[in-house]
Amino acid sequence: MLNLTRLPRNLLVRLKNIIAEPSVADQAVNAELRLKADSEVFQVSAGALPDRITEPTTKPTQYDLLASSSVRLAAYAIADLTAYKICHGLWVSKTTIADKLALEIPLNAEEAAIDRELHISQTVERGTLPAKIDRFLLYEYWPIYRETKAIIKTVPTEGIDVETLHPRRIGEQFIVLEKISAETPEDADGNTRITIWRDDDGSPASPLLELFTWSMGLTHDIPMFIPARREIGIRCETDTERSDYKIRYTFGVYRL
C-alpha cells in the first residue's frame, strides 16, 4: 500500500487517519495491517478496526506515526482479498529545530545558536513544542476565504478536467486544496480515480497524486493541505464511463 524506504533529509512524514475495510465477505478476520515507522513496527487485525466505510460517522483508526527515514503500510491475509478498501493520510513537513530536539537529532551550529537564543529546548521539555500539524497550520496560516464546490458530471474514459484552481492575486496569495471526496463507484474494476497536480509538481499526464475512489465516499471528506503558488489541477480519470458522477472539494486562499 505504501513503502517509502528512503525519505529525503530534513523531512518528516506522519502516517495518520487509517481507514480499512474490516471485512470482505466471509474473510472478516483474515486481513492484518502491518505498519512500520523508522524502526518501530505495529500490526493490527483489520477485523477489529472501526468500519468507517460502511459507518461513515466512525472516527478513523487513531494512528499518528512519525518517521524521519522510512515508512511502510501493508495488508496481509490468509486468503486473497478482492477489491479491498483502505486509505490513509500522509503528511509531510520540513524538520524544525523543535522536531530535531524531540527526536534527538543533532543540531548544526546555526540551529544550536537559535536554540540558545530562543530557549526552544526548554519549550520542548515542557511539551509545548513541537506543535501538532493541525495546530501548526491553524496558527501559522490565516485563510482569506474558503470555498466548497461540488460537481455532477458524466466521466468518459478519456477523463474530465474537474477544475484548475488559482489564487486571485498571484505573488500575494497562495491556494490550498484542503478536502476532497468522491462518490464510491459501482465497481472497482473501472479504476476510477482523482488525479491532482500543482505548479511544477506533476502534470495532467503525470500527476503528483492519485486517489482511487473505490476507497472514498461522499459521506466523509479526505483532509489534506496541498499548497500552490500558481495553480492546483484536479482531474477525474476512469477506465469505465461513470454517469452523473459526484465529486466535492474544498480549497482555501491564504496570504503569502
What's the confidence (pLDDT) of residue 53?
A: 59
Residues 10 and 101 in one domain: no
Residues 14 and 105 in one domain: no
Residues 153 and 82 in one domain: no
Digit-coded pLDDT (tens) for 46-86: 877 766 556 665 666 678 898 999 999 998 887 777 778 88
What's the confidence (pLDDT) of residue 71?
A: 95
Residues 119 and 195 in one domain: no
Residues 123 and 211 in one domain: no
The phi and psi torsions of 114 (rounded to 5 degrees) equal -65, -40
Q: Residue 162: is its pLDDT beyond 80?
A: yes
Q: Cα 69 vs. chain centroid, distance in angstroms?
A: 18
Q: Which of these three, 105, 121, 139, is where a domain ends?
A: 139
Range of the domain at 82: 2-93
16, 51, 103, 220 from 23: Cα distances, Å: 21, 9, 37, 20
Residues 126 and 155 in one domain: no
For residues 232 and 166, what is the distance between their CA atoms, to the nearest angstrom?
7
Total domains in the fold of the chain: 3
Q: Which of these three, 68, 93, 118, is where a domain ends?
A: 93
Residues 157 and 221 in one domain: yes
For residues 240 and 27, what is the distance between their CA atoms, to the nearest angstrom?
28
Averaged pLDDT, 217-231: 92
Digit-coded pLDDT (tens) for 190-222: 999 999 999 999 999 999 999 999 988 898 899
The phi and psi torsions of 2 (rounded to 5 degrees) equal -150, 130
Q: Residue 149: is its pLDDT beyond 90?
A: yes
Q: What is the dihedral sign for C-alpha 235, 240, 245, 247?
A: negative
- What percent of the chain is modeled with pLDDT above 70? 92
Averaged pLDDT, 169-189: 94
| Mean pLDDT for the chain overall | 89
Residues 46 and 56 in one domain: yes
Residues 62 and 145 in one domain: no
Q: How many other CB atoms are there within 10 angstroms of residue 230's CB atom? A: 15
Digit-coded pLDDT (tens) for 104-147: 899 999 999 999 999 999 999 998 889 887 788 888 888 899 99
Residues 181 and 218 in one domain: yes
Residues 8 and 86 in one domain: yes
Residues 46 and 123 in one domain: no
